Structure 1
């Protein structure tokens, strides 16, 4: 069986945002949520809960973003600024 890139969705306090998706992307999110629930022997996850997890994973694995963020954080700290919080 194929390994999904996401683990079970953790329950966390959300920040509300409104995003519009093309219908095909929404259908794919619904399918992914259903498969993810099956893989982890859980009820299907609400597709909207996948979005922040996917975006977080995308940013965490984007080497260019990580490099530029480290550069920006280092520059901010050298100027005495505490800088942004690090991505877990």
Structure 2
């Protein structure tokens, strides 16, 4: 199996926000959580817990954003 972009999730103090996702996006999060569990041999994480690490990974790999942030 190919390596997923996310690894095991860290437990960090959260900031509460509310978002609405399309049902298809949530189903994709559920499927990703299952894939992550099978790849890491850990318990399946709550799909909601994947959102923050995915956003962090996206922001961290966005070269244009990194350039703008350095200015």
**Range into which the TM-score falls when normalised by the shorter chain:** over 0.9
SS in 1 for 2:24: helix
* Superposed structure 1 runs of 4+ greater than 3 Å apart: none
- Pairs aligned (count): 71
Q: Mapping of 1:1-88 within 5 angstroms?
A: 1-71=1-71
Higher relative contact order (CA 8 A, sep 6+): 2
Structure-1-length-normalised TM-score: 0.78
Structure-2-length-normalised TM-score: 0.96
Question: What do the CA deviations read for 1:23-55 (whole angstroms, capped 9, x no partner)?
Answer: 000000001001101111111000011000000
Q: For structure 1, which runs of at least 5 residues remain unmatched after alignment?
A: 72-88
Instruction: Please tell me the root mean square deviation across aligned C-alpha atoms, in Å.
Output: 0.6
